[in-house]
């Protein structure tokens, strides 16, 4: 999921999103969900200000 995906969901009336890379561990080049969440929050900050809910589905690979 990208910030653009989140913005499109918001603009089309979604009340929130689930940031997930379901099966991402199968693809070496996939970013972790925490990286995707960070990108969404940085590039689409107005989402949380307007009550748009963002949930995270696992995917934290390390604390580094």
Domain range summary for the chain, segments of one domain joined by +: 3-56
> In this model, does residue 58 exceed pLDDT 90?
no
> In this model, does residue 12 exceed pLDDT 70?
yes
21-36 average pLDDT score: 72
What per-residue confidence (pLDDT) applies to 10?
94
Residues 6+ apart with CB under 8 A from 60: 32, 33, 34
What separation in angstroms does the CA of 61 have from each of 33, 45, 57? Answer: 9, 24, 12
Q: What percent of the chain has pLDDT over 90?
A: 38
12 is catalytic: no
List the catalytic residue out of 22, 53, 55, 61: 22
Confidence of residue 1 (pLDDT cuts 50, 70, 90): confident
Rounded to 5 degrees, φ, ψ at 25 are -65, -15
């Amino acid at each position: 999921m990208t910030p653009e995906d989140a913005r499109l969901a918001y603009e089309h009336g979604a009340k929130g999103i689930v940031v997930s890379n379901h099966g991402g561990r199968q693809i070496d080049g996939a970013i972790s969900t925490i990286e995707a969440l960070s990108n969404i929050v940085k590039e689409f900050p107005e989402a949380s200000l307007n009550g748009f809910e963002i949930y995270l589905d696992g995917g934290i690979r390390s604390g580094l």
